[in-house]
Amino acid sequence: MSIYIASFGFGLITASILVLSSVGLTLQYGVTNVFNFAFGGTMTFGAFAAYIVNHTLHQNIWVSTLAAMIGTGLLSIALNQFFFQPFIRRGLQLFGLMVVAFALSIILQNVLLALAGPDVFSYDVPSAQSVSFGDLLFTSTQLIIIVVAALAALCIYLLLRFTKLGRAMRATADDIQLARVSGIVTSRVINLAWLLSGGLAGLAGVVLAMNSASFDTLLGENFLLLTIAAVIVGGIGKPYGAMIAAVIIGIATEEAGVIIGAQYQLVVALVAIVIALLIRPQGLIITRSRR
Amino acid sequence: MSAGTEYYIITLAVYFLINSILLWGLNLQYGLTGIVNFGYYAFVAAGAYVGSMLAMGAPQPGYLSQHYLFGATLPYPLPVVAAGAAGGVFGALVGLVLLRRLRTDYLAILTLVVGQIAWLIAGNNPTLVNGQSGLSQIPQPLADKLTVDPVTYNWIFLGICLIAALIVFVIIMRLTRSPYGRALRAVRENEYAAGALGKRPATLRMSAMIIGGVMAGLGGALFAEYLMSWSPGGWSFAENFVLYTALVLGGTGNNFGAMLGALVVPVGVYQVVSLLPPIGGNATANAALQWIILGVILLGVMWFRPQGLLPEPKAKFPSTEPETTDTPRVAIVAHGDVQHG
C-alpha cells in the first residue's frame, strides 16, 4: 500500500510541473491555433539559461529561474513573431503550422545540443532536507515546486478571470475576428500570451531540471509528450482543463507505473491521448462555460 | 576504385532505392490522399521486424540469445513479402482505429502517438523484439545460397533493391495515373464532393493506409537486411521528420519528387555533413548540425516553395471550348428567341 502512496507523492510533483507546462502549451494553442512542438525545446532552453546564470554567474537558483523565465518568454515571442505569424499570414493551415513547429523544435533542440554537448548538468542548489507526511516523503525542493505550481495556477486563474489582458486573451482565443472588431489589438495580445506561456515554459523547464538529479538537452522533449497528453485530455486551448488534466495525468501515470512497470508510464499517458481524441476531442474535462 | 569507395557508393545507392520505396508509400498516404501519418516509421519498423524474424529462425532459448516473439527461416523472398504484408496489416489496424473524420492536426497527433506507443513497447518489452538491443545478425537475402565475397555480395544486394524498387515504381505509377489515383486526390481535395460523386472516402483512405503500409514494410525489411540489425534507436520519431522533409522538398504528390527527395535528403544531406570536419571540437555538434540543416531546409521549402522542387502534375482536361469563334455565340432567331450556339 505504501508504494501507492509514494507514487501519489511522485505523481503530485509530476503533476505540478505538468500544470506549468500544459497551461503554457495550451495558451499558445488557444491564441495561435498552432501545436507548438518547439515548446519542449523552449523548456530545455529555460533550464539551460538558468544553469548559466546559476553556475557561471553564481546567482542563487531563484534569481536564475527568473532570468530563465524572461529568456524563454522572449524566445517564445521571437518564435511567434518571426516564424508562426508570417506563416499564418501566408495562409498556412493547421498541418503546415505543425510541420513548421516541428522543424523549429528540431532546430532548437539541436542548437542546444551543439552548444552544450552530450553532457549532463545540474544546478548549484543547497542540499535539500526531507520532509515527510506520514508515508509521503518529499524533499524540500519538491515541496517548493508544488507550492510554486499551485501559486502559478492561481495567478493564471486570476489573470484570465479578472484582468483586462486576461479577458482579451480569452476573447482572442475564442474568436479572433470578433476580438479585433471589439477593439482588441490582437497582435499585441497574442505576443503577450506567448510571453506569458514562454515564461511558464521556462519555469517548467527549471523545476523539471531541479527535480531530476541531472539534466541534458533532451529534458524538454522527454516531457513534451506528457505535456501534450495533459493539454489534449484537458481540451486543447483550455487552461483550466489543462490544470485539472495535469493533476490527473501526473498522478495516474505514476500509479499506473507501479502496476505495469515504470517504463510503460508514458504509454499510459499516450493511450489517454488516443482515447481522448477519439471519444471527445474537445477534452475530457468539463469546465463550466464561462460567462 | 578501391573497395572502400565501391562499398560507399553502393551504400548510397541502396539508401536511395530503399528511401524511394519508403517515400512512394508516404507519398501515397500524405501526398495523394492527404492523410497526415506522423507514425509512418512505425510501419517501416513493423516490416523490418517481421522480415527479420522470418529469416532469422525461431528464437533460441537462453540468457544470452535474442528474445523475440516468433521466427522462421523462410527462403527468400518470402520474408520480404511477409514484411510488406505486415506493414499492410499494421496500416489496416491503425486505419481502423484512427481514420474517422478527424481534423488533420488531430490525425497527425494521433498517428504520432500511435507510433510512439509502438516504439515504447518495442523498446521496453524484452520478449517482443529483443527490446532496446533490437535484432541483430539478420541474415541477408540469398547470402547462404551464393558463396561470394562481401564486395560482390553488395552488388547483388543492390540488384535486389533495384528489382524491388522497379516493381514498386511500376505499381505506384500505375496506381497514381489511374482512376484510383484520381479518386484519392479527390478525397484529399474535398471528401464530401468526392462522396457525392459516388466515391467512398473511408474505403479509399483505408486502402491508401494499407498500400502505403505495404511499401513501408517492404522498405523496412530491405533496410533491416542491409544493416543486418534493427533496434528502436534506429526508428525514433525523428526519422519521420527526415522522410517528411524529403517528400516536401522533392515535391508532395509527385512520385518523381519522392525520388528526388530520397536523393537529396537521406543521401545528400547526411553524406555532405558527415564529410565536414568536426566543428568546434565537439563531435556531437556535427550530428546536431545535420538535424539543424534538415530543419532549416524544411522551413525554407515551406516558405519559398511549399509545393516542392517537382510539384504535383496538374491534371489536364481537354478544352470544352468550340474551336472556331467566328460566329457569335448568341444567335437571335427570327421570332425573337435567343439561342446560344
Instruction: Give the per-residue pLDDT at B282.
Output: 61
User: Which of A33-37, A169-173, B168-172, B309-313 reaches the highest mean pLDDT?
Assistant: B168-172
Q: Which of B103, B104, B109, B307 to mutate to test the interface with A (most CBs of A within 10 A)?
A: B109
Return the exposure string of A84-103: e unless at least 16 CB atoms fall within 10 Å of the residue's CB, then b. Answer: bbebbeeebebbbbbbbbbb
Q: In terms of CA atoms, which chain B residue is nearest residue A112?
A: B288
* A271 contacts in chain B (CB < 8 Å): 117
The minimum CA-CA distance between A106 and chain B, rounded to whole Å, is: 6
Q: In terms of CA atoms, which chain B residue is nearest residue A33?
A: B105
Span A194-247, pLDDT tens digits: 999 999 999 999 999 888 878 888 888 888 999 999 999 988 888 888 999 999
Mean pLDDT for the stretch of residues B244-263: 90
Mean pLDDT of all residues belonging to chain A: 87
Q: In terms of CA atoms, which chain B residue is nearest residue A268?
A: B117
Residue with cell 428567341: B337
- pLDDT confidence band for A117 (50 / 70 / 90): confident
The minimum CA-CA distance between A118 and chain B, rounded to whole Å, is: 7
Is the minimum CB–CB distance between A111 and chain B shorter than 8 Å?
yes
Task: Please judge whether B302 and A104 are an interchain contact, meaning their C-beta atoms are less than 8 angstroms apart.
Answer: no
Q: In terms of CA atoms, which chain B residue is nearest residue A107?
A: B292
Mean pLDDT for the stretch of residues A54-81: 89
A289 exposed, middle or buried (CB, 10 Å; 0-12, 13-18, 19+)? exposed
The pTM for the full model equals 0.85
The minimum CA-CA distance between B73 and chain A, rounded to whole Å, is: 32
- pLDDT confidence band for B340 (50 / 70 / 90): very low
- Candidates A44, A80, A70; CA nearest to A196 is A70
User: Which of B209-223, B231-245, B251-265, B285-299 reaches the highest mean pLDDT?
Assistant: B209-223
Instruction: Measure the CA–CA gap between A149 and A250, rounded to whole angstroms.
Output: 13
- pLDDT confidence band for B64 (50 / 70 / 90): low
Instruction: Give the per-residue pLDDT at B338.
Output: 46
Instruction: Give the per-residue pLDDT at A129.
Output: 78
Return the exposure string of B303-339: e unless at least 16 CB atoms fall within 10 Å of the residue's CB, then b. Answer: eeeeebbbebeeeeeeeeeeeeeeeeeeeeeeeeeee
Length of chain B: 341
* pLDDT(B337) > 50: no
Instruction: Give the per-residue pLDDT at A258.
Output: 85
Span B288-318, pLDDT tens digits: 888 888 899 899 998 998 888 888 887 777 7
Percent of chain A with pLDDT over 70: 97
Q: Which residues contact B242 (CB under 8 A, 6 or more apart)?
A: B265, B266, B294
* A93 contacts in chain B (CB < 8 Å): 104
Name the H helices within A214-238: 219-234
Instruction: Give the per-residue pLDDT at B341.
Output: 40
The minimum CA-CA distance between B94 and chain A, rounded to whole Å, is: 11
Query: Which residue did the predictor score with more confidence, A94 or B257?
Result: B257
Query: Which residue did the predictor score with more confidence, B80 or B322?
Result: B80
Sign of CA dihedral A73, A75, A80, A86: positive
Q: In terms of CA atoms, which chain B residue is nearest residue A272?
A: B113
Our CA angle for B223, B228, B234, nearest 5°, is 60
Span A26-40, pLDDT tens digits: 999 888 888 899 999
The minimum CA-CA distance between B101 and chain A, rounded to whole Å, is: 10
Return the exposure string of B181-202: e unless at least 16 CB atoms fall within 10 Å of the residue's CB, then b. Answer: bebbbbbbeebeebeeeebebe
Task: Please judge whether B121 and A118 are an interchain contact, meaning their C-beta atoms are less than 8 angstroms apart.
Answer: no
Mean pLDDT for the stretch of residues A54-65: 84
| Residues A6 and A136 sit within 8 Å (Cβ to Cβ) | yes
DSSP state letter for A52: I
- Candidates B129, B46, B127, B51; CA nearest to B93 is B46
Is the minimum CB–CB distance between B282 and chain A shorter than 8 Å?
yes
Of the candidates B245, B288, B302, the beta carbon closest to that of A110 is on: B288
Q: In terms of CA atoms, which chain B residue is nearest residue A37?
A: B109
Instruction: Give the per-residue pLDDT at A23.
Output: 94
Torsion-angle region of B175 (φ positive above 0: left; ψ -120 to 50: alpha; else: beta): alpha
Of the candidates A99, A100, A117, the beta carbon closest to that of B284 is on: A117
Coil, helix or strand for A215?
strand
What's the CA dihedral at B255, B259, B264, B265 to 10 degrees? 80
Size of interface A-B (CB pairs under 8 A): 112
Mean pLDDT for the stretch of residues B94-112: 79
**Interface predicted TM-score (ipTM) of this complex, two decimals:** 0.86
Q: Which residues contact B160 (CB under 8 A, 6 or more apart)?
A: B141, B142, B222
Beta carbons within 10 angstroms of residue A24's beta carbon: 33
